[in-house]
């Protein structure tokens, strides 16, 4: 029987079968119930494996959740808007979500948390920083490899591009970044974080005209969240200091 299940690719059922047999004996299951449970075990197992594969493929650097985000610490972020985004209609409408603000205010946390929601709902996602992305595309030395690498970033439903602004791009990298944003425009959402205001993107890309065209596509269907609060990373240090200076 094990061979037949292997031939049919029923690997999840094969794993679940010993327990199912035991339950069937104990609960005196009908044939119908047993068959239903056996098929359910295969489907559930497959769904679980697909979900695990999706999560691995997303390459999230850490797992963050909306539940662990303290909105009271960051009043400049609209909790209502973030919760609306978490219903994932932005994925369907291929709307981009841009988080602007200084370091430590939770930009990456919120992007990852939204990606976690999207993954749980069955969407694909991929996390990258702009410098990783630029490097991956630049080191592809011939055009077909560039196209192949680009596809890696165009196929996921949700692409996170983190830390835009820390690296100035070479002309070639800027061109690839533009190509990617153009390829995803109205096809797939981008979640992007930046410490740099849009007016500086000309400098960042080394090309004002390209930056304007890129921002035009990026912002056409986008929610922009500007975060102006304090760094969460410094929270404990600041409160520790304030405790220590108290008499
Ligand atoms: P940014 O990307 O804006 O530099 P991060 O999202 O990396 O900041 O946040 C820095 C650290 O602080 C992370 O560990 C993150 O989980 C945590 N953090 C930031 N803001 C909050 C918040 N409001 N509630 C809970 N944790 C937060
Ligand atoms: Mg960050």
Residues 49-59 pLDDT 10s: 999 999 999 99
Percentage of residues in the chain having pLDDT higher than 90: 85
Q: Is 157 in the pocket of ligand 1 (CB under 6 A)?
A: no
Q: How far is the CA of 31 from the centre of ligand 1 (A)?
A: 53
pLDDT band for 238, please (50, 70, 90 cuts): low
Q: Which of 60, 73, 104 to mutate to test the pocket of ligand 1 (most atoms within 8 A of CB)?
A: 104
Task: Answer for the pair 38, 16: CB distance below 8 angstroms, yes or no.
Answer: yes
Which pTM was predicted? 0.88
Contact by Cβ (8 Å): 154, 180:
yes
Q: State how far the Cα of 37 lies from the Cα of 30, in Å rounded to an integer.
A: 11
4 C-alpha to ligand 1 centroid (Å)? 51
Q: How far, in Å, from the CA of 237 to the mean position of ligand 1?
A: 14
What's the confidence (pLDDT) of residue 237?
Answer: 67
CB atoms within 10 A of CB 203: 13
> The tokens 């996602």 sit on which residue?
125
Query: What ranges in 28-168 are assigned the alpha helix state H?
Result: 31-58, 79-85, 89-92, 107-120, 130-138, 143-154
pLDDT at 19 over 60: yes
On average, the pLDDT of the chain sits at: 92
Tally of CB atoms within 10 A around 66? 18
Contact 138, 176 (CB under 8 A): yes
- 189-194 β-sheet, strand order: 125-129, 158-164, 189-194, 96-100, 222-226
Atom of ligand 1 nearest to the CA of 68: 25
Q: Which residues have C-beta under 5 Å from ligand 2, the single-atom ion?
A: 108
Residue 143 clears pLDDT 90, i.e. is over it: no
pLDDT in tens, 62-79: 999 999 999 999 999 999
Residue 239 has pLDDT above 80, yes or no: no
Q: What is the mean pLDDT of residues 74-88?
A: 96
**102-115 pLDDT tens trace:** 999 999 999 999 99
pLDDT at position 244 is 43
Distance (Å) from CA 16 to ligand 2 centroid? 42
Could you tell me if the CB of 73 is within 6 A of ligand 1?
Answer: yes
Examine the pLDDT at 171 and tell me if it is beyond 80.
yes
């Amino acid at each position: 029987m094990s061979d037949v299940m292997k031939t049919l690719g029923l690997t999840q059922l094969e794993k679940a079968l010993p327990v199912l047999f035991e339950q069937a004996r104990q609960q005196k299951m009908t044939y119908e119930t047993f068959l239903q449970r056996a098929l359910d075990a295969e489907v559930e197992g497959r769904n679980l494996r697909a979900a695990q594969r999706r999560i691995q493929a997303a390459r999230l650097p850490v797992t963050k959740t909306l539940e662990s985000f303290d909105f009271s610490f960051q009043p400049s972020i609209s909790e209502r808007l973030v919760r609306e985004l978490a219903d994932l209609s932005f994925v369907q409408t291929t709307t981009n979500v841009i988080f602007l603000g200084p370091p430590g205010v939770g930009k990456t946390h919120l992007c990852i948390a939204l990606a976690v929601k999207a993954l749980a709902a069955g969407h694909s996602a991929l996390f990258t920083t702009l410098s990783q992305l630029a490097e991956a595309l630049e080191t592809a030395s011939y055009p077909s490899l560039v196209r192949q690498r680009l596809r890696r970033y165009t196929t996921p439903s949700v692409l996170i591009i983190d830390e835009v602004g820390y690296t100035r791009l070479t002309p070639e990298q800027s061109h690839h970044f533009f190509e990617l944003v153009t390829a995803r425009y109205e096809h797939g959402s981008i979640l992007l974080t930046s410490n740099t205001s849009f007016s500086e993107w000309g400098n960042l890309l080394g090309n004002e005209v390209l930056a304007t065209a890129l921002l035009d596509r990026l912002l056409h269907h986008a929610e922009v969240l500007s975060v102006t609060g304090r760094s969460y990373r410094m929270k404990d240090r600041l409160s520790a200091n304030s405790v220590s200076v108290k008499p």
